[in-house]
Chain A
Amino acid sequence: NAGVTQTPKFRILKIGQSMTLQCAQDMNHNYMYWYRQDPGMGLKLIYYSVGAGITDKGEVPNGYNVSRSTTEDFPLRLELAAPSQTSVYFCASSPSRTGGNQPQHFGDGTRLSIL
């Protein structure tokens, strides 16, 4: 079982560049999430989606965009990368809403440095 797959695993960007972090899941989960994890801090939600075509902002959405054209894929786009976006990005999915009885499944993360 592949679960949640994130690509790339590592990336270095220059300030002002753009990139898309890819996330795909093969569990047919409706709910998908993007979190960022900064050193010594808890994970914070950037965006989430409750199904294809439906996305919404989380706690820290500024500087990011998402789309959800299929159930499987939930890419995260960084426009005009800034040093403050240096972080580890995690994608997660779940079959039910967060307040339900099913845990979220996480990918291995993308480690992004903006220089």
Chain B
Amino acid sequence: KQEVTQIPAALSVPEGENLVLNCSFTDSAIYNLQWFRQDPGKGLTSLLLIQSSQREQTSGRLNASLDKSSGRSTLYIAASQPGDSATYLCAVPDQAGTALIFGKGTTLSVSS
């Protein structure tokens, strides 16, 4: 059964730092991997979706990489800002391509 793990559970950094969030999954036979952002009391916002055939995706200051063989993905945030403070979730589809299987998230706090 696919399991998704995110480390660390929480991270605090000063404004301006570059940082990396980690996501690992146990079954490398994935269709894609998605990164979401969740603000307190809000729903999830899709940040990046990496297809299984891709190695990385970029959107602004965000870069997500995927290494299927090792079962890992990283979300790189450049020049962090207080507005980046949120919980970041990664998710992969289940074997049937029906549901998303989520990690528990990394809660990021960026101080000014």
Contacts and interface: CB of A to CB of B under 8 A. Distances in A.
B99 to A, nearest CB: 4
B49 A101 contact: yes
The secondary-structure label for the interface of chain A is: loop
Contact of B93 (A43, A56, A90, A98): A98
Which of B43, B46, B97 gathers most chain A CB within 10 Å? B43
Interface residues of B, number: 26
B100 A98 contact: yes
Contact of B89 (A42, A45, A59, A107): A42
Nearest to B31: A99
Interface in B37-92: 41-46, 49, 51, 89, 91
Nearest to B4: A42
A28 B101 CA distance: 24
Nearest to B35: A103
Nearest to A45: B99
9 contacts: A42-B91, A42-B103, A43-B91, A43-B100, A90-B44, A98-B94, A98-B97, A103-B46, A104-B46
B104 A41 contact: yes
A58 B94 CA distance: 11
